[in-house]
C-alpha cells in the first residue's frame, strides 16, 4: 500500500515537472543574468536565447519580459528605445491590456528619465493610462499614477501632483511590508515608495511646506540607510537635504550634503537632477561669498543644457545670475551668450508647458473627471454645463436656505403658542366636575358623577402614564364597563378615549419639559416611555398633532430659550 502511494506521488510529481518544463527553462535562462547591474551589456549573451525561445514559442508574455530586460541592460539610450518598441509590438500581439500598459509605460520612462523629453513621455504615459484604468494589477495602476504626477509636478501643478504621489505612497508603503511577496516585488515596491516620497518632497518645497518636506527627508534617509540597492534614492534625499540646508542659510552643511549626493546622481545618469545639484552647490558657494566657485558650478548647469537641450523651470535663475556676473565683469560677449541661452531656455520651457498643459488637461484630467463620456472637442460645451450645474446648485441652495428659514420661523411661532398655552395653564383639565345630564346617556346622574370623580383622580395621580393602557383596562380599574366609560368620555371630555389619553400624556410630558430642564437631556424614546407611549414615532406624531411642533424642534427651542436667559 505504501509502495503504491509512493508510486502515485512520484508519477504526479513527474507530471508536474513536465507541465512546468517550459517555465523552468525561462527561469533558468533569466537566472544567468537577472542579478547583473542596470546598463550592463554582459547580460545579452544570456538574454538573447531567452528572447529567441519566447519568439519561437510565440509566448508574448515572456517576450515582453525579454524586451523589458533588453531596455534595462542596454547601455545606450537609443538601443533602449528600440527594445521598448519591440515590447510594444509583442504586447500588441498578445492583446493583453496589462502588457500593453507596461510596454507604453516603459517607453515613456525612457523618454522621461534618459532624455527628459516630457512631451514624448506624456504621450506614452497617456496610452499606458488608457490600458491601465480597468486593470486588476494595482502595482501597474499606481505606477501610471506616479508618472502622470511627475508631469504635473514639472508643470507646476504641485497640489494635483501631491495627491497622486500620496496615493502611490500609501499603496507602496503597504506593499513593501508584505511578507507574502517575492523579493523582486518587495524591491520594486520599496523603489516606488522612495520615489513617491522624493517627488512629494519636491512638491512640498515648491508649495512652501518646508517642515513637511524636512520630515519626509528624514524618513527617506532612514529608509534607505546604507543599502547599496537604493544608492540613487539616497542621492535624491541628500540633494533635498542640501537644498533645505541652503534655504536655512547653512551653506557649509548644504555643500556637504549636495557633494555627497553627486556620485549617485551622476551614476544614475539623471542629468536633470544633476543640474539641480550643481545649481544649489553654486548658490551655496555664492552664499559663502566664493564667487569663483559658484560661477564654476553655474556654468556646469549651462553645459548640461547645451548637451541635452532641457532645463527645469526652477533653474532659470541660473542664467540670470550668470548675466548679472557678466555685467559686473563687463564681459559683453558672455553677457550676450548667457542672454541667448536664457531666451533659449525660456523657449524650451514655454514649448513644453504649452504642449504638456493642454495634453494632460484634455487626455488625463478631463477623461478622469468625466469618465470618458465627453469628447475632447467639447471643452466649451463642458464649460457651459459646469456653469449651468453651478447655477442650479446655487438656486437649489437658496431655495433650501429659504425653506429652512421659513421652517425655523414656523417652529418659533408654534413654540411660542405652546409656551403661552402651558404658562397660562390652559392645558389643565377643569377641576370642577360637570353636572351630568342623565338624558344624554340614559344613566343615573350619581353613577356618572362617581365615574367623573374617578377620572379626575386618574388624571391627578397621572395613572395615564401606564404603558399599554386600553379602554378595557381602564374600565376595569374604574369598576365599570368599556362601553359606558367610552360614552362618558365622549360626552363630558368632548373627545374619544384615544384622543383623551393622548392629550393627557402629551400635555403631561410637555409640562415636564417646560418645568424641569433635566428632561431636556432625555432622548425621544425615554420621553415616550415616561408618558406611557410605546414607540418613538407614535410619540413624535402625537406630540406634533397636539402641540403643532415636533418634540425635537420643541426641545431645541426650549434649550435655546434657557441658554439665552442664563
Looking at per-residue pLDDT, the higher value among 415 and 191 belongs to: 191
Residue 442 belongs to domain with CATH number = 1.10.10.60
Distance CA 163, CA 153 (A): 11
Query: Cell 425655523 sits at which residue?
Result: 408
400 lies in a domain? no
Contact 275, 305 (CB under 8 A): yes
pLDDT bucket at 324, cuts 50 / 70 / 90: very high
Lowest mean pLDDT among 20-24, 334-338, 355-359: 20-24
**Structurally, how many domains does the chain consist of?**
2
67 lies in a domain? yes
| Single residue among 99, 115, 131 that ends a domain in this structure | 115
pLDDT at residue 489 tops 80: yes
Looking at per-residue pLDDT, the higher value among 363 and 548 belongs to: 548
52 lies in a domain? yes
| Closest to 485 (Cα-Cα) out of 435, 533, 450 | 450
| Single residue among 115, 149, 176 that ends a domain in this structure | 115
Read off the pTM.
0.57
pLDDT at residue 308 tops 80: yes
pLDDT bucket at 412, cuts 50 / 70 / 90: confident
What crossing angle do the helices spanning 317-328 and 291-308 adopt, rounded to 10°? Answer: 130
pLDDT of residue 370: 57
Select, from the ranges 263-272, 364-373, 383-392, 418-427, the one with the highest average predicted confidence (pLDDT). Answer: 263-272
pLDDT at residue 188 tops 50: yes
Summarised one tens digit per residue, pLDDT across range 492-530 is 888 898 999 899 998 998 988 888 888 888 898 999 998
**What's the gap between Cα 413 and its chain centre?**
45
437 lies in a domain? yes
Contact 151, 356 (CB under 8 A): yes
**Can you give the residue range of the structural domain that contains 100?**
22-115
| Single residue among 87, 115, 143 that ends a domain in this structure | 115
Percent of the chain past pLDDT 70, that is, above it, reads 86
- In degrees, rounded to 5, the angle at the alpha carbon of residue 504 between the alpha carbons of residues 460 and 462 is 30
432 lies in a domain? yes
pLDDT of residue 354: 74
Summarised one tens digit per residue, pLDDT across range 329-339 is 999 999 999 99
C-alpha dihedral (297, 300, 302, 308), degrees to nearest 10? -150
**Non-local CB neighbours of 193 within 8 Å, separated by 6+ positions:** 169, 172, 173, 175, 176, 223
3-class DSSP assignment, residue 26: helix
Amino acid at each position: 500500500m505504501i509502495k503504491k502511494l509512493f508510486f502515485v506521488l512520484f508519477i504526479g510529481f513527474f507530471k508536474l515537472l513536465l507541465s512546468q518544463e517550459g517555465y523552468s527553462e525561462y527561469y533558468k535562462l533569466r537566472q544567468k543574468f537577472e542579478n547583473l547591474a542596470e546598463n550592463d551589456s554582459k547580460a545579452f549573451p544570456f538574454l538573447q536565447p531567452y528572447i529567441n525561445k519566447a519568439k519561437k514559442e510565440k509566448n508574448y508574455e515572456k517576450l515582453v519580459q525579454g524586451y523589458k530586460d533588453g531596455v534595462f541592460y542596454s547601455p545606450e539610450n537609443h538601443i533602449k528605445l528600440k527594445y521598448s518598441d519591440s515590447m510594444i509590438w509583442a504586447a500588441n500581439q498578445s492583446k493583453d491590456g496589462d502588457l500593453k500598459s507596461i510596454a507604453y509605460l516603459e517607453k515613456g520612462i525612457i523618454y522621461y528619465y534618459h532624455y527628459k523629453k516630457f512631451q514624448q513621455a506624456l504621450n506614452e504615459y497617456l496610452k499606458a493610462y488608457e490600458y491601465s484604468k480597468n486593470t486588476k494589477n494595482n502595482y501597474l495602476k499606481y505606477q501610471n499614477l506616479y508618472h502622470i504626477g511627475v508631469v504635473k509636478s514639472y508643470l507646476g501643478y504641485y497640489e494635483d501632483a501631491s495627491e497622486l504621489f500620496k496615493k502611490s505612497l500609501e499603496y507602496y508603503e503597504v506593499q513593501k511590508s508584505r511578507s507574502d511577496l517575492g523579493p523582486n516585488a518587495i524591491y520594486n515596491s520599496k523603489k516606488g515608495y522612495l520615489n513617491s516620497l522624493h517627488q512629494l518632497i519636491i512638491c512640498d518645497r515648491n508649495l512652501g511646506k518646508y517642515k513637511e518636506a524636512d520630515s519626509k527627508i528624514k524618513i527617506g534617509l532612514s529608509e534607505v540607510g546604507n543599502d547599496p540597492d537604493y544608492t540613487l534614492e539616497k542621492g535624491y534625499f541628500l540633494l533635498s537635504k542640501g537644498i533645505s540646508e541652503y534655504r536655512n542659510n547653512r551653506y557649509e552643511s548644504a555643500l556637504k550634503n549636495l557633494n555627497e549626493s553627486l556620485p549617485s546622481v551622476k551614476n544614475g545618469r539623471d542629468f536633470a537632477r544633476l543640474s539641480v545639484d550643481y545649481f544649489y552647490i553654486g548658490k551655496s558657494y555664492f552664499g559663502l561669498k566664493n564667487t569663483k566657485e559658484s560661477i564654476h558650478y553655474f556654468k556646469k548647469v549651462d553645459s548640461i543644457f547645451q548637451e541635452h537641450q532641457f532645463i527645469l523651470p526652477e533653474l532659470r535663475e541660473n542664467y540670470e545670475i550668470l548675466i548679472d556676473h557678466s555685467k559686473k565683469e563687463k564681459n559683453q560677449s558672455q553677457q550676450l551668450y548667457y542672454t541667448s541661452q536664457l531666451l533659449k531656455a525660456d523657449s524650451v520651457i514655454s514649448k513644453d508647458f504649452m504642449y504638456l498643459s493642454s495634453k494632460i488637461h484634455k487626455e488625463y484630467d478631463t477623461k478622469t473627471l468625466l469618465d470618458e463620456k465627453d469628447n475632447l472637442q467639447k471643452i466649451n460645451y463642458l464649460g457651459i454645463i459646469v456653469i449651468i450645474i453651478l447655477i442650479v446648485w446655487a438656486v437649489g441652495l437658496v431655495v433650501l436656505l429659504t425653506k429652512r428659514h421659513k421652517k425655523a420661523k414656523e417652529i418659533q411661532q408654534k413654540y411660542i403658542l405652546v409656551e403661552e398655552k402651558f404658562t397660562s395653564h390652559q392645558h389643565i383639565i377643569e377641576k370642577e366636575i360637570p353636572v351630568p345630564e342623565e338624558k344624554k346617556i340614559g344613566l343615573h346622574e350619581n353613577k356618572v358623577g362617581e365615574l367623573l370623580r374617578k377620572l379626575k383622580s386618574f388624571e391627578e395621580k397621572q395613572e395615564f402614564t401606564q404603558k399599554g393602557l386600553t379602554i378595557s383596562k381602564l374600565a376595569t380599574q374604574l369598576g365599570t364597563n368599556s362601553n359606558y366609560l367610552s360614552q362618558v368620555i365622549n360626552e363630558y371630555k368632548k373627545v374619544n378615549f384615544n384622543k383623551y389619553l393622548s392629550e393627557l400624556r402629551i400635555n403631561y410630558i410637555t409640562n415636564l419639559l417646560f418645568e424641569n430642564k433635566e428632561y431636556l437631556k432625555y432622548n425621544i424614546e425615554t420621553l415616550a416611555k415616561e408618558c406611557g407611549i410605546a414607540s418613538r414615532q407614535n410619540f413624535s406624531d402625537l406630540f406634533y398633532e397636539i402641540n403643532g411642533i415636533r418634540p425635537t424642534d420643541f426641545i431645541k427651542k426650549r434649550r435655546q430659550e434657557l441658554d439665552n436667559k442664563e
